[in-house]
Structure 1
Amino acid sequence: MDVKRMRAELAADPALGTGNLLTTLITRGEGLDDPALTFDTPVDDHPPWQPMSLNELEHRVTARAAELHRLGIRPRDPVAVYVRAAADQALCFLALARIGAVPALINGNLGSGLAAEYIRKRLASPVVITDAAHRQALRDEGLASQSMVDVATLGAGDPRLAPPPFQHHPDDPVVITHSSGTTGLPKAVAHSHHSLFAAVRHRLTLPKAAALDRMLVILPPGHAAMVIALSVALCNHVELALCSRQNGAYVLDVIEKWRPISVLGFSATWSDLAGVDLATRDLSSVQAWWNTGDCAHEPHIRHLVGAGRRYVMTSEGVTQKAGSVFIDGLGSSEMGHSQFFITHTPDTDRYRRCIGRPHVYTDAVVYDDEARELPAGQVGQLGIKAPTLSLGYWNDSELTYRTRRNGYFLTGDLVFRNEAGYFFHVDRLVDAVDIGDGNWVYTALAEERVLAACPEVLECTVVAVGEPGEVRTVILLTLHDGGEPEPDLVAKVAAALEPPVAATVAGVLTAGDGVLPFGATGKVRKALLRDRLLSGELLGTAAAVVR
């Protein structure tokens, strides 16, 4: 098939969007029997790791749409999807979108207590699609009155009884995803038919990326980035594999088994891989690592680009070189897609939390607290205006409008830009603490500095609290191989920090098992650590004190 022609025609189709992509491709009738989508768990009678064609995918999606319609699901009904397997998340999304309902995808790693509260308060959804692992847990949390649909039964629907595909308007809500929940109850983020497809459409107008083929997605399958990756793969006629787990050991096994060319994930997985000697694993198929969500740390990026291979243009033509490419991009559920990009190879050296330049569809500003634009070099809040932005927060118009100023979405990130137009990320607004005299503890920037200066440190988490007349900062370190800290480690950590920040350090701790509280996406829940620091627990009993 002529993929170049297909991509151009899809980009020019004004009706195409996230909600009708599969049905549009089926109607076009091209490449329907080619391998398209692979799951790591069985689907009905289809075994794991055996690719599905578009025809097979359409059959299974239509069967699920028919069963959901038989159960009374109708257009614009919000339906919670709380399952573990990537296959169940993807197929439920496609089936619900086909009938015009609004799937609310919930990370299967989210604790049942938070999930139940999220369903009640954020979604107010009367229907929950769930699996055996989560069903009883939700009932134990008081959701017995909800209509529970067993995801394992949906494949038994009769595709012939499915209603006609829903005709989406560009602004129709097409999926609800949620924030990471590191500060408390996750927020429900609503995406539209066109907004979640805007960046995909833009990519279709550009030459197809050389490393786009054979994509492995190791993102949490309930995340908006999974939906985007699914759209990217289907539009570009490339094979895609979706993983249900994101831990490093599993990911490495999958890479060796499935042989992807590109791997898409979050920074938490790259951190997990940082403790593995990649030379002992066969990663020769990988040409590119794609990161979204939080920007990645320099040592973790350098670790990954040392593996795999890449192709470069030379005076003698295209040549294969050792080492891969890492494409970093800052994004969030609310942004709908990463808004910045920067490419790293073994030969590049633009780090120090540089997130690159904005995409051409992105208008990025740096605001002070009064929404006045700041000049280059000054830290402020990141504001984004882009066609990818979500509709807002489901059932929470107040929060939706509180995060909008002057037509821009305030992301909650603190950044600055330089004169060349590159942006640098220093922290999340909720995690930074004002020291006074123009100085701040930027916890993410401090982590970056420590990791870069202390190669024996595998991971670093910095938390700070401000109390009347005092700022206290605690640094928690995970060492390579779980080793004991060297005598000069505290001095090295202090030297890596700016002097005003180093003066606030109340303790440098080794983070043993169970000390760091992680959220569903693998992020450290700093809000809980701040509570423990204020209560005295963190410096008292929760970790081994180095200083």
Structure 2
Amino acid sequence: MRPHDMGTLFDEVAARGTHTTVHLDRPFDILPGGHGPGVDHTVPQLAGLVREAAGWLYEAGARRGDRVAVVKRNHYDYDLLACAAVRIGAVPALLSGHLPDDVLEILLKRLDPAVLVTDRVPPAGSARRVLSLGDPAPGALTLDDVRGARVPAPRRRHDDEPLVVNHTSGTTGVPKLVVHTTRTLVHRLARFEAVRWPVIGVRRGDVVANASSYAHGRTFCWTASVFCLAPRKVVLLSDPDAAERVLARHRPTTVEALPSAYVRWRPLAARPDNPFRDVRLFVSTYDAMHPPAMRAMLHASRRRRPLWVQGWGQTETGPLTFRFLTRRALERSPDARDLGRPVPGRTRLRVVDPVTLTPVPRGHSGLVLARTAARCAGYVGEQDRWHAKATGPWWNTGDLGVLTRGGAVRLLDREVDSVPGLSCLRLEDLVEDRLPEVVECVVLGTPGRPPLPVLVTSAPLDPAAWRRAVADLPPMADPEVLAWEDVPRTATGKVRRLDLLTRLAGTAETHGSGRWT
């Protein structure tokens, strides 16, 4: 089965008699205590929940072409609410519950939603109607007010009309609101993944686990493909720290997770009774992965040849490159900045001079441009910004990299985070590889000062060990050691580098221009 309409996806999968069961780490927020089956669901039950939620949204006032904003705690019901909005012809706009109040207010003004579904106290005038999942604000509806509403018939839309709005990570400021259509997200991305590819494809006997930020576009596309492939189980974690409890009962054979989740799972993966013993395939997207976390997860598996699939892309483009890694490859300490080659027949890459935007020869660094039919349709409220990043069919990723003679791309840094003459990401790889107690290393650069390494450690840092580890690296300032929770992060666990730089250095000035963030 290939995905067609996200509004009726679960109905179509259920009609095929799927055997897939779905298991959660906690009940859905849209099914509070006493409602629904708790943490274990069938696909027909999810289909029924999507239909029911479509009735809620319609009763709250959402109509064809309207935007429905969702802001709440992280959970997979983000994607169910998105399917419900699509079903009635509305456009879901999924905003992370991690967004600060001032940022949320800006994004809601750009969206001007007909309905806002939220568990927060929303800014005044943020939507025509508010459907509250928590303590209701004055004038807001509650789920009890709309529960049992008539379910409207599905409304189809043209393939090039807006389908969903997701925001970018927002590591460098206010996130952008990315618009995808059925053609760009479903036809160009999800249908490609909804193929039972050898080795990397989902099998009917698989237990597929996902630990993600469900407000982001990756999981909406993932939903469209994985449920069509009908694995035995789908396990959905809203909190990576629930992995030990939940995955012990549903041991996965494939795992897709945020890079930050894999980092947090390293101590769990080191245990003999770890829940990753049956995993044959690990998948990472969203952000750069450093070798120690990949190595720890692959060695946690008891399979003979577990595989790591590292994808690189953006909310605006979907996946652009893939790279496959094995235990043996990681033992050879590969260049983790090598992100592999473009997806054959689907994406093309070129590297250009950051000033003139003219192509540079293979092996030279510059801005990475991508060409893909899955490019997003625009930015809500910032279409001029979208046009500034689009050069004909090419898309400016805002990343600095090198296209090798063999056709692979080596990622150096985000342009805004770059430091002349070095790669901060490469320094982070080396520090984490050389010092096992370093759980995470972030190298920050600002003009007139040496790069500043910020470390999250699992044990006190030995100053002598630090000096030995960096003796052959470019000069850096003395490290700042912080606890994990003291590092500002996005909903996907990415470090908010500019916020961290401002806090530690007293300035947000960087070497990069930030023109393409």
TM over 0.5: yes
**Is the alpha carbon distance of 1:144 and 1:172 closer, same or farther for their aligned partners in structure 2, counting shifts above 3 Å?**
closer
What is the CA distance between 1:143 and its match in structure 2?
4.8
- Name the SS for the 1:183 alignment partner: coil
Aligned to 2:308: 326
1:388 matched to 2:374? The reply is yes
Aligned to 1:524: 495
8 Å contact kept, 1:63–1:156: no
Aligned to 1:485: 462
Instruction: Map Cα deviations across residues 437-473 of structure 1 (whole Å, 9 max, x no partner).
Output: xx2x42222211222233332211100001xxx3431
8 Å contact kept, 2:185–2:221: yes
1:232 matched to 2:225? The reply is yes
1:51 matched to 2:51? The reply is no
- Name the SS for the 1:483 alignment partner: coil
8 Å contact kept, 1:464–1:471: yes
8 Å contact kept, 2:256–2:282: yes
1:75 matched to 2:64? The reply is yes
Letter in 2 for 1:183: T
**Is the alpha carbon distance of 1:278 and 1:223 closer, same or farther for their aligned partners in structure 2, counting shifts above 3 Å?**
farther
2: distance between equivalents of 1:183 and 1:421?
A: 29
2: distance between equivalents of 1:220 and 1:453?
A: 30
Instruction: Map Cα deviations across residues 118-143 of structure 1 (whole Å, 9 max, x no partner).
Output: 212x3232421012xx1x2x24xx45
- Name the SS for the 1:329 alignment partner: strand
Instruction: Map Cα deviations across residues 338-371 of structure 1 (whole Å, 9 max, x no partner).
Output: 2111111212244331111111211111121222
2: distance between equivalents of 1:193 and 1:154?
A: 32
Of 347, 353, 359 in structure 2, the residue corresponding to residue 362 of structure 1 is 347
Of 153, 156, 164 in structure 1, the residue corresponding to residue 153 of structure 2 is 164
The 5-angstrom pairing of residues 499-510 of structure 1 reads 501-502=474-475, 505-510=476-481
1: distance between equivalents of 2:36 and 2:365?
A: 52
2: distance between equivalents of 1:127 and 1:391?
A: 23
**Is the alpha carbon distance of 1:332 and 1:40 closer, same or farther for their aligned partners in structure 2, counting shifts above 3 Å?**
same
2: distance between equivalents of 1:357 and 1:459?
A: 26
8 Å contact kept, 1:329–1:340: yes
1: distance between equivalents of 2:379 and 2:342?
A: 24
The 5-angstrom pairing of residues 362-511 of structure 1 reads 362-369=347-354, 370-434=356-420, 439=421, 441-466=422-447, 470-479=448-457, 481-495=458-472, 497=473, 501-502=474-475, 505-511=476-482
> 208-217 vs 367-376, which deviates more?
208-217
Aligned to 1:188: 177
What is the CA distance between 1:406 and its match in structure 2?
3.3
> 85-94 vs 40-49, which deviates more?
40-49
**Is the alpha carbon distance of 1:48 and 1:367 closer, same or farther for their aligned partners in structure 2, counting shifts above 3 Å?**
farther
Letter in 1 for 2:315: S
Of 173, 185, 189 in structure 1, the residue corresponding to residue 162 of structure 2 is 173
Aligned to 2:257: 265
What is the CA distance between 1:109 and its match in structure 2?
2.5
2: distance between equivalents of 1:366 and 1:251?
A: 40
Instruction: Map Cα deviations across residues 233-274 of structure 1 (whole Å, 9 max, x no partner).
Output: 12111232322223xx32233221221211111211112223
1: distance between equivalents of 2:362 and 2:244?
A: 41
Aligned to 1:62: 51
1:148 matched to 2:130? The reply is yes
Instruction: Map Cα deviations across residues 497-544 of structure 1 (whole Å, 9 max, x no partner).
Output: 2xxx32xx232222246542222221111101222344289xxxxxxx
Structure 1 runs of 4+ off > 6 angstroms? none
Identity over aligned pairs, percent: 25
With structure 1 as the length reference, what TM-score do the two structures score?
A: 0.82
Instruction: Map Cα deviations across residues 188-212 of structure 1 (whole Å, 9 max, x no partner).
Output: 1111112112222123456364662
Instruction: Map Cα deviations across residues 20-53 of structure 1 (whole Å, 9 max, x no partner).
Output: 5335445xx3115x33433333353323331222
- Name the SS for the 2:165 alignment partner: strand
1:298 matched to 2:298? The reply is no
2: distance between equivalents of 1:295 and 1:18?
A: 29
Letter in 2 for 1:148: V
2: distance between equivalents of 1:281 and 1:22?
A: 32
Unaligned runs of 5+ in 2: 134-141, 509-517
